[in-house]
Amino acid sequence: MSRLKIAIPNKGALSAAATEILRESGYRQRSDSKELRLVDAENDVEFFYLRPRDIALYVGEGTLDVGITGRDLLLDSGAKADEVLPLEFGRSTFRFAGPRGSYDELADLAGTRIATSYVGIVESFLAERGIDATVVRLDGAVETSIQLGVADVIADVVETGTTLRRAGLEVFGEPILESEAVLITRSGNGSPAFDVFRRRVEGVLVARGYVMMDYDIETAKLDAALAVTPGMEGPTVSPLQREGWVAVRAMVRRDGAQRLMDELWELGARAILLTDIHACRI
Ligand SMILES: Nc1ncnc2c1ncn2[C@@H]1O[C@H](COP(=O)(O)OP(=O)(O)OP(=O)(O)O)[C@@H](O)[C@H]1O
Ligand SMILES: O=P(O)(O)OC[C@H]1O[C@H](OP(=O)(O)OP(=O)(O)O)[C@H](O)[C@@H]1O
Ligand SMILES: [Mg+2]
């Protein structure tokens, strides 16, 4: 049985966070950024460090079993790979942009030259809307193409909007796509080894997004308290030495936990504790 072959970005906007989530999932990661292949024998997996744009193709063809890349790159590639899990990092929006004040809505694209390094996404978008425009394929740094006269409009990834502003450009029309880093595998892959890998990564995402809350509450107020902390699979309630009181343990979302603690305090809960979750399987 060959090892699970996993592709991750070797550099660029997704690389560091991809490496971190795999390390937190208990996998060995490379220490030298020039290493493009790494075997983790203990976990029976093999990592391949590749360009994010190529990862969808390797996975779609079945050369590699699993990959981490951007949703936009997956869609742009047209590869036969499926998104199986959003990874909550590498977020960006894909937008049209032009010189400030020149365009208002997407219909204004008709007859323009659009520069982009995401030709697949743009051509699909134009075809779906019946907009007739010319797509100019560039490898990157597309913002300069308008100033150089090779395009009228660009379509590109926007994170903070800094690059656009610096180039005197502004977005117009609704975002074409909301992207983030995603776990992908070829359509129909359900191998046990992939399931283990996916459960580990999911466990890290849950552990990052949730904390464990413990508190003591009078039994008479338990129902009101459990409405505040219903937990993921249902809270644990244990009897306390103190007559008429119970101890409750429940997972709560990290963002908003302090407000829950305030609500529980108002209900009469005491000894309210928050602890981080290092890893989990839900
Ligand atoms: N500020 C950003 N710049 C570029 N890509 C970003 C940014 N924020 C998120 N991303 C996402 O990262 C992925 C692109 O990663 P990366 O920049 O490594 O690829 P690339 O642009 O093709 O490579 P390179 O920048 O080395 O030419 C896309 O999925 C994109 O949506
Ligand atoms: O909205 P911002 O925060 O300014 O980020 C978006 C910019 O960053 C990316 O470029 P990248 O660094 O990947 O270079 P590239 O265009 O050569 O890919 C992207 O292509 C935009 O140019
Ligand atoms: Mg880039």
> What tens digit of pLDDT does each residue of 116-160 get?
999 999 999 999 999 999 999 999 999 999 999 999 999 999 999
Q: Are residues 86 and 184 in the same domain?
A: yes
| Mean of pLDDT values over 94-104 | 97
Q: What is the pLDDT of residue 274?
A: 97
ipTM over 0.85: yes
Residue 28 lies in a domain: yes
- Look up the domain containing 30 and give its range: 4-90+180-190
Q: What is the pLDDT of residue 2?
A: 86
Query: What is the chain's Cα-based Rg?
Result: 24
| Mean of pLDDT values over 9-23 | 97
Nearest CA owner, ligand 2 atom 19 = 157
Q: Are residues 126 and 84 in the same domain?
A: no
User: Comparing 188 with 40, which gets the higher pLDDT?
Assistant: 40
Nearest CA owner, ligand 1 atom 22 = 53
State yes or no: pLDDT of 70 exceeds 80: yes
With a 6 Å cutoff on the Cβ, whether 141 touches ligand 2 is yes
Q: What is the pLDDT of residue 59?
A: 97
Residue 174 lies in a domain: yes
Q: Which atom of ligand 2 is nearest to the CA of 159?
A: 1
Nearest CA owner, ligand 1 atom 9 = 90
Q: Are residues 226 and 113 in the same domain?
A: no
Residue 204 lies in a domain: no
For residues 177 and 39, give the distance between their C-alpha atoms in angstroms, rounded to a whole number: 35
Partners of 182 in beta bridges: 69, 86
With a 6 Å cutoff on the Cβ, whether 159 touches ligand 1 is yes
Nearest CA owner, ligand 1 atom 25 = 12
Taking residue 132's Cβ as centre, other Cβ atoms within 10 Å add up to 10
Q: What is the pLDDT of residue 189?
A: 79
Nearest CA owner, ligand 1 atom 24 = 12
Q: Are residues 12 and 42 in the same domain?
A: yes
With a 6 Å cutoff on the Cβ, whether 140 touches ligand 2 is yes
CA of 188 to the centre of ligand 3 (A): 30
Nearest CA owner, ligand 1 atom 31 = 92
Q: For the stretch 93-122, what's the b/e string if a residue is b when 16 or more beta carbons lie within 10 angstroms of its beta carbon?
A: bbbbbbeeeebeebebbeebbbbbbbbbbb
What is the best residue among 158, 162, 171 to mutate for testing ligand 2's pocket, by most ligand atoms within 8 Å of CB? 158
With a 6 Å cutoff on the Cβ, whether 15 touches ligand 2 is no
Could you give the number of structural domains in the chain? 3
Residue 255 lies in a domain: yes
- Domain at 99, CATH number: 3.40.190.10
Residue 24 lies in a domain: yes
For residues 78 and 61, give the distance between their C-alpha atoms in angstroms, rounded to a whole number: 11
Residue 201 lies in a domain: no
Q: What is the pLDDT of residue 78?
A: 94
CA of 14 to the centre of ligand 1 (A): 7
Q: What is the pLDDT of residue 188?
A: 79
Q: Are residues 239 and 122 in the same domain?
A: no
Ligand nearest to the CA of 159: 2
- Per-residue pLDDT band for 161 (boundaries 50, 70, 90) equals very high
Q: Are residues 42 and 110 in the same domain?
A: no
- Domain at 255, CATH number: 3.30.70.120
Q: Are residues 130 and 255 in the same domain?
A: no
Residues 184-203 have pLDDT tens digits of 999 877 889 999 999 999 99
Q: What is the C-alpha end-to-end distance of the chain, expressed in Å?
A: 27
Q: What is the pLDDT of residue 23?
A: 96
| Mean of pLDDT values over 97-112 | 96
CA of 155 to the centre of ligand 2 (A): 11
Q: Which atom of ligand 2 is nearest to the CA of 141?
A: 16
Q: What is the pLDDT of residue 282?
A: 83
Nearest to 268 by CA among 212, 211, 213, 219: 219
Nearest to 4 by CA among 192, 187, 181, 188: 192
CA of 77 to the centre of ligand 1 (A): 14
Q: Are residues 97 and 126 in the same domain?
A: yes
State yes or no: pLDDT of 99 exceeds 80: yes
Q: What is the pLDDT of residue 7?
A: 98
Q: Are residues 117 and 70 in the same domain?
A: no
State yes or no: pLDDT of 19 exceeds 90: yes
State yes or no: pLDDT of 252 exceeds 80: yes
Q: CB–CB of 60/188 below 8 Å? A: no
Q: Are residues 9 and 130 in the same domain?
A: no
State yes or no: pLDDT of 1 exceeds 80: no
Q: Are residues 80 and 123 in the same domain?
A: no
CA of 110 to the centre of ligand 3 (A): 26
Whole-angstrom CA distances from 228 to 55, 60, 279 are: 43, 44, 24
Share of the chain above pLDDT 90, in %: 94
The DSSP line for the chain is -PPEEEEEESSSTTHHHHHHHHHHTT----SSTT--EEEEGGGTEEEEEE-HHHHHHHHHHTSSSEEEEEHHHHHHHT-SEEEEEE-S-S-EEEEEEEETTS--SGGGGTT-EEEES-HHHHHHHHHHHT---EEEE-SS-TTHHHHTTS-SEEEEEESSSHHHHHTTEEEEEEEEEEE-EEEEEETT---HHHHHHHHHHHHHHHHHHEEEEEEEEEGGGHHHHHHH---SS--EEEE-SSTTEEEEEEEEESTTHHHHHHHHHHHT-EEEEEEE------
Q: Are residues 130 and 258 in the same domain?
A: no
